[in-house]
Structure 1
C-alpha cells in the first residue's frame, strides 16, 4: 500500500488538474452533457493522466541527481529515495503505452494527439529542456494538445480563434512559469533549471507580454464569434472575468510565485472565483 501511495505521489497528481483543459472544447461546443461526449471526455482525460504521469516519472528518473540539489524538487519520491529509479522507469514503461492503448480505444485521432504529446514531452526530458525557445514551445505544447484532444475526442470542430487563443495561452503559461522561476532564483539564489542561465528576465517578460496580448485579442474575437452563433451576450461578458483572471495570475508571475501554475490556481481564492465566473459566463453563452 505504501509503495502504491509513493508511486501515485511520484506521478504528481496535483498537476493532473491541467487535464481540465480537455473539457474546454466540448463545453463550448455544446456537447458537455451528451452521454457519448461525456464518455469520450473521460477517456481523453484518462489518456492524458496516464501519459503525463509516465512523462513525470521519466523526467524524475533522468534528473534525479540534479533534483537532489534543488530546495523543493529534492522532496519528490525519486529524488528523496522513496521510489527507486528502476521502479520509476518500470512504471513509466507501463503508463506511456497504456495511454496510447486507452486513446486508441476511442479513436485514431485521439491516439495521434496523445502520441504527439508523448513524443514531444519525452524529447523535452531527453534534451529539449536545455534549448532556449524550443523548451518553451515544448512546455506550451502540453497545454495546447490537451485543449485539442477535447475537440478531437468529441468531434467538436476547433475554430481558428480557439486554436490561436489556446496556443498563445499555453505560451503565456510557459513563459510566465520560466519568468517566475527566474525571479525566484534571483531572490533566493537556489539552484534551478540550467536553461534559465540562457534567458534574461527582459526576454522572458517579452515572451510573456507578447503572448498575453495575443491571447486577449484572439479570445475576444473568439467570444464575439460565439455570440454570432448563440445570439446572446454571455460569451462577450466572459471577456471581463477572463481578463481579470489573467491580470490576477500575472501578479503571482511577476512576484515569482508562479513556478507551478496549478499551485497558484488551487491556492488563490480570488483567482478561483474569477475562473468560476468566467466558466459560468462561457457556459451560459452555449447552454442558456
Structure 2
C-alpha cells in the first residue's frame, strides 16, 4: 500500500515548499547550520501536511476524478487505495505533522495549522471561484515564507511577502491560462475564466511582480539591481513556455527547461554574491 499512498501525496508538488528556504538566504544566515536543520524539519512537516491534504482532496473528488481521463488513474479514484485507509492515513499524517510543528514552538505550530486550514477550505470550497482561488493559493505560499522566518526567528520582510504573493499569482494564472486550452470541465472555476481574462490577470501579475522585485533591489542594495535581468528573464521565460509549450499545468516541467534552470542558477549565484560579498 506504500506506493499508492506516496503517489496520492503527490511528491512532485512539494517543490512549492522550497519557498520556506528564502528567509535564510535573504536574512544572510545561509551559513548557519542550526537554522538549516530547523528549516529542513519544517520543510518536511509542510510536505507531509501538503501530502495529507492532497489525499483528502482526492477523497472529496473521488467520483469526479473517476470520470476524468487522467485523474481516474489516481490511486484513490482507481481503487488502489481504499477510502477508509486513505482517510485514516491522511488524518494520522496531519496529526503527527502538526505535533512536530508545535514541538518546534507554539507560533510555528499555529502558522502550520493556519496553512493546513487555508489548504482545506480552498480545496473544499474556495477553489470553485475564479480569482478567489488564486488568492487562496497565493496566501498558502505566503504562509510557507512566514513559517520559515518564524522557525529561524528573523524579521518577516514585507518585500518577501509581497514578492512571494505575486509570484504565486503569476504561477496560478499561468496555470489557469493553460487549462483553458484543455478540458475546461476539469476545474469548476474555469467556467468563470476565459482566455482574455486569464491573460490579462497573468500579465498584470507579471508586471506587479517585476516592479516589486525591482523596488526591493533598489531598497536593499544598489548592487542587487544586477540580478534584475535574470529575474526578468526567468518570469518572461515562464510566460513564453506557457504559450509555446503549454507547461502551465505542470510548473515542475520548468526544471526540465535548460535555459530556465541555467538562469535560476545564475540568479541565485549573483544574489548570494551581492548579499554576502558586500560590506
Q: TM-score, normalising length from structure 2? A: 0.93
8 Å contact from structure 1 (residues 71, 191) kept in 2: no
Q: Is the aligned partner of 1:278 residue 2:267?
A: yes
RMSD of equivalent CA atoms: 1.6
Q: Aligned equivalents of 1:184 and 1:275: distance in 2?
A: 29
Flag structure 1 segments of 5+ consecutive residues without an equivalent.
none
Q: Deviations over 1:34-77 (max 9, x none)?
A: 12211221122011111101110001111111112222222221
Flag structure 2 segments of 5+ consecutive residues without an equivalent.
none
Count of residues in Structure 1 that have an aligned counterpart in Structure 2:
276
Structural mapping, 1:195-210, within 5 Å: 195-210=189-204
Structural mapping, 1:24-173, within 5 Å: 24-173=22-171
| Residue from 223, 228, 250 that aligns with 2:239 | 250
**Which aligned segments of 4 or more residues in structure 1 are displaced greater than 6 angstroms?**
none
8 Å contact from structure 2 (residues 145, 160) kept in 1: no
Aligned equivalent of 2:251: 261
Aligned equivalent of 1:238: 227
Structural mapping, 1:1-12, within 5 Å: 3-12=1-10
1:9 to partner: Cα distance: 1.3
1:207 to partner: Cα distance: 1.5
Q: Is the aligned partner of 1:227 residue 2:225?
A: no
1:236 to partner: Cα distance: 1.8
Q: Deviations over 1:213-264 (max 9, x none)?
A: 1110111111222216xxxx2x2221111110111111122343311212x2
1:286 to partner: Cα distance: 2.1
1:121 to partner: Cα distance: 0.8
Residue 15 to residue 281, structure 1, CA distance change in 2 (3 Å): same
Q: TM-score, normalising length from structure 1? A: 0.91
1:90 to partner: Cα distance: 1.1
1:191 to partner: Cα distance: 3.9
